[in-house]
Homo-oligomer: A and B are copies of this chain.
């Protein structure tokens, strides 16, 4: 008996990255190569919300060129969302609605591209489909700049942020070094990472044997000690003439509060909005009197496809491809992973994890990746991080700007009568 031709559903979840569309590219191109098994690939407009509201995008309306361009286009081409489904009982209506929409559009493959929460959702959808006797290959495609998924050696999206932060830290340090004699002596760069210091750690790569830069890194894993920090900065300025500080947005003081929530108020009495960097700058200014500058990279860091890591792009694509291949091999409730087989030369291959082992497990940065004094990275951390930023993968340019693709995102005609309020 010939296998039935069934459609696929792909959705992007949570914060987007420079390479999540490379995974989408891997999924769609691989599905197109298996037209005997996979019919159309539908995408959720704004992620899983698109499935709940039956707002599907027909990716078959996009040319091969447009799909190929996803490989070098940052952010989420179909829209993503922050919408967390809870337990099967609590969110039963949502899960049943998903299956109802999948049935209506003859969807036999579900590719969910996200972090820990979406791995959990993907697992529950798989379990419910089984319970309901609806055949569905639910596969999770990992993605998160936070690099906090278990089992996989790293997460697509992280390597490119790491590269951006390492380069920016090096470039800004060169700038400050040139000016320090008469101007700025302390430069502070705020980076993402509310729960883990992976991104902050990447700032440490800016310095190496050829580039002796005075860096102080503030990790969310280390309770902020203002006196120790100021003493370190002062020592670096006295030795090098300047100092660069990389501060994670997730750094907390001894009182357990984020530095960024230090409670500054504007002239109207409104609470000032975020920013660990200006808080650190204030400390430096008031305690040491040095001229400072600060930057907050925010979305620039995770959208910076112009300087994406080639390793990261290749892995993002390979994981999308592997997800489709796993589904075609009859697997479900799994996530393809990156397996590191060698540090130097760096070698990796694709592995697989059961979603039951992925969902709700957060990988922390090992303490042995942070130097004993808490302000830097260790050799082990460098050996882990360095390959992930390796290689460049420049997008094509037009008129001096990256020529990123904007898809048509043609809607699929609705088949269900009722609407669903999310």
Contacts and interface: CB of A to CB of B under 8 A. Distances in A.
Interface string A355-380: 00000000000000000000000000
Contact of A79 (B171, B181, B296): B181
A262 B187 CA distance: 22
Given A263-B267, A295-B296, A403-B210, A81 B183 contact: yes
Interface stretch (A70-78, A90-98, A328-336): A70-78
Chain A at the B interface: SS class: mixed
Contact of A303 (B174, B306, B406): B174
A350 interface: no
B267 A264 contact: yes
Contacts of A404: 170-171, 174, 211
Interface string A389-414: 11110100111111110100000000
B390 A400 contact: yes
A40 interface: no
25 contacts: A49-B181, A76-B178, A77-B178, A82-B179, A167-B402, A168-B303, A171-B299, A171-B404, A172-B298, A174-B404, A175-B303, A189-B300, A210-B403, A211-B404, A262-B267, A272-B282, A273-B282, A273-B285, A275-B275, A275-B278, A293-B299, A297-B300, A307-B307, A391-B400, A392-B394
Contact of A295 (B166, B177, B205, B299): B299
Q: Which of A77, A206, A275, A286 has the most CB of B within 10 A?
A: A275
A110 B364 CA distance: 56
A245 interface: no
A163 interface: yes
Interface of A: 12, 15-16, 46, 49, 73-77, 79-83, 163, 166-168, 170-172, 174-179, 181-184, 187, 189, 205-206, 208, 210-211, 262-267, 270, 272-275, 277-279, 281-282, 285-286, 292-300, 302-307, 309, 386, 389-392, 394, 397-404, 406
Contacts of A179: 15-16, 76, 79-82
A309 B171 CA distance: 16
A357 to B, nearest CB: 28
Give me the 4 closest cross-chain CB pairs, A-B, nearest first: A76-B178, A389-B400, A295-B298, A75-B174
Contacts of A263: 266-267
Given A175-B74, A264-B265, A406-B210, A166 B273 contact: no
